[in-house]
Amino acid sequence: MKQIAAVSWSRNETELFSDGKYSRKHLWTFDGGLEIVASSSPHVVPLPYSIENAVDPEEAFVASLSSCHMLFFLSIAASKKFIVERYLDNAEGILDKNEDGVMTMVSVTLKPLVIFSGNQVPTREQLEKIHHLAHKQCFLANSVRSQIIVLPQ
């Protein structure tokens, strides 16, 4: 199954480029037509060369892992006849040097808070099992070397 995302960037003609002083602002376009303004993180490349209110690749990485986990969690919960009213995850990623001294996303911590309704609400043990299954089934979690921690709230 092929996944498509177009990434486009153009040099502003007032920028020299070879001096490293150029905008990192670029556009992500997805196959459904959605466009997102992206940039390097201001923590990595200083302003004004980064765009503070754009999505950076590291944030997108964390959001993608969180989203993948959530989608599998919802599917598993529904198959077990639980009714999920709301799912909120304030996921965090840590960018640091790995054991080889290379900058990498060393860990991502998912902190999902799930609100259920109805007569059947999972026990803490059932909730943890659903999160465990969601993590095992998440395509992205299976694709990365970063440590992924799930801390249900």
**Total number of domains in the chain:** 2
pLDDT in tens, the chain (153 residues): 888 899 999 999 999 999 999 999 999 999 989 999 999 999 999 999 999 999 999 999 999 999 999 999 999 999 999 999 999 999 999 999 999 999 999 999 999 999 999 999 999 999 999 999 999 999 999 999 888 989 998
pLDDT, one tens digit per residue, over 95-122 is 999 999 999 999 999 999 999 999 999 9
Identify the pLDDT of residue 147.
Answer: 85
User: What is the sign of the dihedral through the CA atoms of 102, 103, 104 and 107?
Assistant: positive
- Helix 57-79 to helix 124-137 angle (10° resolution) is 120
User: What is the sign of the dihedral through the CA atoms of 150, 143, 69 and 106?
Assistant: positive
Identify the pLDDT of residue 146.
Answer: 87
Identify the pLDDT of residue 12.
Answer: 95
Residue 150, token pair as written in the block = 């799930």
Do 69 and 128 lie in a common domain?
yes
Residue 93: which CATH number? 3.30.300.20
CA distances to 9, 31, 46, 120 from 78, rounded to whole Å, are 41, 28, 44, 11
Range of the domain at 17: 1-55
Which amino acid type is present at position 76?
I
Do 102 and 123 lie in a common domain?
yes
| Beta bridge partner(s), residue 97 | 103
Do 42 and 62 lie in a common domain?
no
Do 45 and 3 lie in a common domain?
yes
Residues in the chain: 153
- Alpha carbon 41 to chain centroid distance? 14
Identify the pLDDT of residue 145.
Answer: 85
Percent of the chain exceeding pLDDT 70 equals 100
Do 90 and 63 lie in a common domain?
yes
| Beta bridge partner(s), residue 87 | 114
Please provide residue 77's backbone torsions phi and psi, each rounded to the nearest 5 degrees.
-60, -45
Identify the pLDDT of residue 61.
Answer: 97
Identify the pLDDT of residue 26.
Answer: 98
